[in-house]
Structure 1
Amino acid sequence: MSGLTDFPLLEQPVPAREPLPLHLKRLAYRCNECRVNDLCLPTGLPLHDNRYLGTLIGSRIRVRKGAALFNANVPLSHLYSVYSGSFKTNLNNAEGQGVIINFWMPGDVLGLDAIATELHVCDAIALEDSEVCPVPYHRLQAVAREFPPLQQSLNRLMSREIIREHERVLMLCNLSAEQRLASFLLGLSRRFVSRGYSSNGFMLCMSREDIASYLGLRLETICRSVAHLRGLGIVNLRGRLVEILDMPALSALELGSAGSYAIAELKPVKAD
C-alpha cells in the first residue's frame, strides 16, 4: 500500500509528551477538506480560522491492524479522531477475558472514556490499518476555555457516545438474538449513510467473534441468526460483505413485529 512511510507507525500505546509545533494553515485546510469533519471534533467550529484547529490537530498517526492505539490504565494524553480505518474497544475482566464494548469508524473520537479519571478504562485495537488525528487533551481544555463552541462540540461528542451506550444496554436487556443482530446491522447502515456510503451494502471490519462479543451472544448463535436472515431473504451476508435485501423487514424484525416474518417467509430461500 502506498504512503505507508508518510505517517508514524504505532505499535505501542502513545506516551504522554509535549505537542510538537504545528503548521497552522496546512492542518486547518486538511480538516476543512476531511470527508467526516461534520462528525468529528471540529463540528460547529469555524474551519477557516487557524487559531483553533491549527493549534489542536496533530499530524496523523497510522496504526497497524491488531495494534493498540491505547490500553486500559494508561494515562490520558490525547483524544484520537478516526480519519480512516476502524477500531474496537474492549474491557478485560480479572481473568483476562475481553468483552467488546464498541466499534469505531471514521469521524468517531476515541479516548473519551478517560476524561473522568484521566486513565483509559479499555483497550482500543485497530481492526485494519487505520489512521487517527491526535488531539492533545490538556491543550484542548485550554483552548475550550477561550472558545466555548469547542467545549460545546466536545460535549456533543460525549453525549453521542452516552446515547450509543444506552442503546446497547437496552438491546442487551430486551432483544432476542435475531433482534440484536438486526439492530446491529441497521445501526451500521445508518452510520455508513452518515458518512456518505450506501445503506444497503457494506463490508464488515470486525469478525463474527467480535460481533458475538458485542451483542452478548455465542458465536454459534450469531451463525444461526445470520443463516436464518439469509434464508428469509432479508439479508445476504457472505464473508464480511453485507447486502440488506429488505430494509423494512429488517427494521420490523428489530422491533419484534411478527408481520416481518410473515412477509419474509413468502420469499424463496436462497441456496448457499
Structure 2
Amino acid sequence: MEPQLIEMRNVTKRRRTKNIGPIDLSIPEGFIIALVGPNGSGKSTLLNMLIQTVLPDEGEITWFGGACPKGLPKDIREQIGFVPEQLSTEEKYMTAEEAAGFRSIWYSSWDGYYFDELLSKFGVPRGVKLHKMSKGERRKFEIAAALAPRPKLLLLDEPSSGLDPFAWKLMIDQLRDCMEDGNTTIVLSTHIVDEVRRLADYIVLMHHGKMLGMVEKDGLLDNWKECWVTGDALLVSELPGIVSWKQESATAVSFVTTECLEVEQILQSAGIPFIKTRSLELDEVLSLWIHGNKPAGMQD
C-alpha cells in the first residue's frame, strides 16, 4: 500500500447555503489526483481546507503523517505550493520579480533559477505589475511561483483558467516534469476533461458538497464502455454493471456497462464475442456516476 500524504477523516465545512462533507479521503504520495464535479460542488473548499485558508468545522486532517490543529507550521507550509482559483490582491502592485522575492522568504527551498526559467518558458512579461497583466499572464506567473520551491504537495485550483492552448500545453509538460522524481503529489481541481485524461492517476468526484468516491482513472475508463453483442434483453439482464441497453436488431443488442472487463470474461466463457465496443467519453462517465451508477468495485 502506498504511503498516504494527506488523510481527511470525517471533515465537514458548514456554508451558508450548503455543507461540504463529511469527507473521508486518503491522498497517496507521488500521484496526481483530479477533483472533478459541477461548479459549486465543493472542490475549491476542499483545496482551501488542505492549505488551511479555510478551517473545517468538524473532522481531522493530517499532512505528511501529522495533524496540525493550530494551523500549518512553517516546515509543513513550505512543502506546499498553491494556485488558488481567485488570485490574491495583495501583490497586484508588484512585478513578477518583486512578488517572487516576497514569496521566496517563506520557502527555504525556493529555486530562483527555476522560477526565472519558468517565467521565460511561459512568456511572463518582466517589469510589469501583476494587475497590468492579462489573466493568462497572471495565471502563468502563479503556476511558476507555485512550482519554484519544488513542493512535495502542489494544490491547483482551475490552473488552466485563462491560458491559451500553447500555455496550457506548456503547463501540462511542466506538471509532468515535476512528477518524474516520484516525490511530488498534485491535487488538481479542474473542469477540463482533457486535463484529467492527460494528467490524472486518480479521480475524486464531488457533487452537492459530497464526495462520491475516489477511483483509479485508467480502470474507470477501461470498465465503462458501450458494447454490441449478438443476443437480446435476456442476455443483458444477467450481466453485471448494466446502465442501459437497446435492441439494435433481431439478433443484436447494445448496452452500457460499468464493468466491461468482467462482462467480457463472462461472454467469452459463454462463447459470445463482442461485435464492437466504444469507450465512453470521460464526461459521459462522470455524468452517469453523478446519477448513481457506481464504478466497478465501489461499495455503497
Q: Which has the higher contact order (CA 8 A, sep 6+)?
A: 2
Task: Answer with 1 or 2: which has the greater Rg.
Answer: 2
Is the strand fraction higher in 1 or 2?
2
Give the TM-score band, short-chain normalised: under 0.3
Is the helix fraction higher in 1 or 2?
1
In the superposition, the TM-score normalised over structure 2's length comes to 0.22
